[in-house]
Amino acid sequence: MVIDVEQEKKEIIGRYRKLLRKAKPVLKEGDARRIKKAFSMAVEAHKDMRRKSGEPYIFHPLAVAQICVEEIGLGTTSIIAALLHDVVEDTDIELTDIERMFGKKVAQIIDGLTKVSGVFEFGTSQQAENFRKMLFTLADDVRVILIKLADRLHNMRTLDSMPRNKQLKISSETIYLYAPLAHRLGLNAIKSELEDLYLRFTDRPVYESIAQNIDDTRASRNKFIKSFMQPIKEELDRYKIKYEIKGRPKSIYSIWNKMRKQNIPFEEVYDLFAIRIIIDVPVENEKAVCWQVYSVVTDFYTPNPDRLRDWISTPKANGYESLHTTVMAKNGQWVEVQIRTQRMDEIAEKGYAAHWKYKETASAHESNLEKWLVKVRDSLAQNDHSALDFVNDFRGNLFSEEVFVFTPRGELKTLPYGATALDFAFEIHSQVGSKCIGAKVNNKLVPINYILKNGDQIEILTSQKQKPHEDWLRFAITSKAKSRIKDVLKEDKKKVAEDGKEIVLRKLKQMKVDPTQVVMEQLREFFNLPSHFDLFYRIGKGIIPASDVKRFKDFKPKSPLKNKPNVRVADAQAIEQEITKIKGRYEDILLIGEDMDIVDYKLAKCCTPIPGDDVFGFVTVSEGIKIHRTTCPNAAELLANHGNRVVKAKWTSQHEVAFLTGLKIKGTDRVGLINDVSKIISEELKVNMSSMSFYTDSGIFEGEIMLYVHDTRHLEQLVNKLEKVEGVVKVSRFDSKVVE
C-alpha cells in the first residue's frame, strides 16, 4: 500500500482544527496553547504507529477528544487527557513528564485511563479487577470513565478492521459493561449507539434487516408524525410556547430486544418511535409549562393511564428528567410522547457532563447522580469479594429503574426497581440490615423479602439474635446488601472450613497418611469437589461424614487421558497453538466436525447450535470446550468476562450428523392440526423428533418440539413448510433456558 504522507499530514491538521472549532465555546485564555502542546506531543509519540485499518494511530486520540467535546460536552482538561490517553502505555513518555508539562489533574486522569487500558486481556479475575480499578477512579474523577467511554465508542465505530473473534469479544464487553455504565451516567445517545454497534457486530443480518425496515417506513412515519402533531402545534403556538419537535425511531437494539423478548416480528412492534416536544422556558417555569404541554397533548389524544412517567418531580438516579405519556392516535396506534425542556434534553443526551453546566441553576436536580456516585465509592471501599462477583453485582444495579420510598421520618430514599425491605435495611446501615427480621410498610407488618413499591413508608424491625442466612442472597438485589451478606457468610464458612480441615488432618493421622499436597489433591478428587475449601467446608458442616475419609485409603486416582494430544484446556491460546501444530493449518480456528481428534468439545445446551449458526468455542473449567451460538443468551457474559477462554470456531461443510434444536409453534386450534404438523416433520421431511408438547387454551394452541436437523438451511425449510399448515400463525426457533 502506497502512503501519501503529505495527504495524511493535511488530514491530521484538518481533524485537529475541527476539534478546536468544536471546543472554542469552552476554551479559556491559554487553553488553545495547552491543547496544541498536547496534540504535538501525541503526534510525535505515535508517529510510527498505525491502526489495524492502516490509518495513522493519531486519528484515534483525535477522534476520542472530538467525542469528549462534541458528544459528552467535556472541556480542556479532558481534551488534553484524551489526546494523550495512550502515550504512557505505548511510548517512552512517563506520567511524571505529563505532570510536569500539563499539571497534576491531567496526569491523574491519564493514570486512571492507563490502569484500565488494554483491559480484559488476561481472563476472568484480571479483567474484572481492571474494571473495578476503573470504577475506583470514579472516587477521584468521573472524567476518567467519560473519556474511557469515548475511547470505547470510537473503537466500536472502527471495529470493522478487527478479526472476527476480537469483534465478538470487544462487542460483548461493550454490551456487558460499557453500555450499562453509559446508561447510568445518563449518556443516552452513547448508550444507544454502543448497543446498536454491539448488534451490528454480533448479528449483522438481524441488524441490517431492522435498519432496512426502519428505512422503508421512514416516509410513512414522517407523514404520520406531521398529521399527529398538527393540532398540538396550533395550540402551542396559541399559548406562545417556544418549542421544537423531534420524531425519532427507537434504536435498532431496543427494537430487536422487544422482538426477541416478546417473540414478535418487526411489524408488531407498536412503539417504533417516540415524539419528543422540547420547550424553551426559564428553569423556574419548567415544571408548570411541561404539565401545560401534557394537558394540550391529552386534549387531542386519549392517554394510557398506566404509561404516564413523571421524571420531572422525581428525576431518575442518573439525572434524567422528562415527562412521558403514551396516547392513542386517531388511527388506533399507540404513540409515546416525551415532554422536556432544552436543559433536560441536553442532560438526557449528554448526561453527567451536562449537569456541571447547569449546576448553579439546578443543584437539586443533580443530587441523585451525586448520591449514586457516593454509593459507588462506598461499595468499592468496602468490597473485598472476588472482583468478578463485584462486577456482576455492580452491573446488576446499572440498568435498573428506580423505586422511591420513605423512611419513618419522611426522608426520600431511591433504590433499584425490585428492591426488598432487606435492601432498604442495608441501605440505612449494614448493622440494621444484618439484624433485620421484618418491616412495617405503611404501618402493616411485612416479611424481609417484601418488594418495595413507589411511595412506601418503611420502618425496619431488628433483633439482636438475627444474623444473615444464605437464602437472603436470593432476595437482596442491591450490591451493598449482597456484599454485606456475603461478608458475614464468608466469615462463617471460613470457621466451618477450619474445623473441617482439623477433622481431615486428624483422620489422616489415624490412617498413618502424610497430609501432603498430593494427598490433599487426591482427597479432593475422591470426593469430586472443585476445591480444597469446599472439601473442608463440607466435612466441617457434616455434609460429608468424617468417617468417609477412611474410604479414601483404597482410592486410585484417575490416570490422564491416553490417545489424545496433551492439550492443556486452561485457555484458548494453548488449544489454538495445538490445532495449528497438529493440523499444519495456518489458521488457529477450531473446525467443528473435524477436530474431535485434537480436543474434546460439546455443543452447549443453552443455545443448541446447529451447522450454519455463527459460533465460538468456550473452554470450560471441567467439561472441555463448549460450542455456543454468538447470539446465545449467555454469550455476552462469557465473551466479556472470560476473553482468554474463547476459541474461534466454525462449522465444516459435512452434513451427515443431526443436531438437536427446538421449535415453538403458535396458532388457532383445530381437529387434526397436531397430526398435520407431525406428518410434515416425520414423513415429508424425514426429521426425527426427540419430544413434542402441545397445550391449548380457549382455541389458541402453543407447542414446543425438539427435533434433529442437519443445519440452518434444513431448519429454514422445515419452518417454511410448517408455516403453510392451516391454523399455524407463527413458527420460531427457541433457546433452552439452561445456564451453562
* Active-site annotation, residues: 89-90
448: cell is: 424481609
* Beta-carbon contacts of residue 285 (< 8 Å; ≥ 6 apart): none
3-class secondary structure per residue, 655-674: CCCCEEEEEEEEEECCCCHH
Query: Residue 157 and residue 11: Cα distance in Å, rounded?
Result: 19
Report in angstroms the alpha-carbon separations of 323 from 25, 209, 287, 289, 718: 30, 32, 10, 11, 47
Spell 544-573 as b/e; 16+ CB within 10 A means b: beeeebeebeeeeeeeeeeeeeebebebbe
Phi-psi region of 512 (alpha: psi -120 to 50; beta: other; left: phi over 0): left
406: cell is: 420513605
Query: Residue 138 and residue 108: Cα distance in Å, rounded?
Result: 12
- Angle ∠(167,178,77) on CA atoms, nearest 5: 110
Q: Residue ranges of the alpha helices (H) in 511-599?
A: 517-526, 532-541, 572-583
Report in angstroms the alpha-carbon separations of 498 from 508, 513, 551: 16, 20, 22
Taking the CA of residue 656 as centre, how many other CA atoms within 13 Å lie in the half-sphere pointing to its CB?
A: 2
- In this structure, what are the phi and psi dihedrals at residue 405, rounded to the nearest 5 degrees? -135, 170
In the DSSP assignment, the letter for residue 283 is G
219: cell is: 416516509
* Beta-carbon contacts of residue 452 (< 8 Å; ≥ 6 apart): 403, 405, 415, 419, 420, 421, 423, 424, 441, 458
- Angle ∠(247,248,251) on CA atoms, nearest 5: 160
Beta strands 444-446 and 436-441: pairing type?
Answer: antiparallel
Report in angstroms the alpha-carbon separations of 632 from 218, 580, 603: 31, 27, 12
Residue with cell 477450531: 590
Could you tell me if 350 and 72 are in contact, meaning their C-beta atoms sit under 8 angstroms apart? yes
The 3-state DSSP class for residue 399 equals coil
Beta strands 273-279 and 302-303: pairing type?
Answer: unpaired
Could you tell me if 197 and 332 are in contact, meaning their C-beta atoms sit under 8 angstroms apart? no
Could you tell me if 642 and 168 are in contact, meaning their C-beta atoms sit under 8 angstroms apart? no
In the DSSP assignment, the letter for residue 420 is B
Q: Which amino acid is at 59?
A: F
Phi-psi region of 459 (alpha: psi -120 to 50; beta: other; left: phi over 0): beta
The 3-state DSSP class for residue 325 equals strand
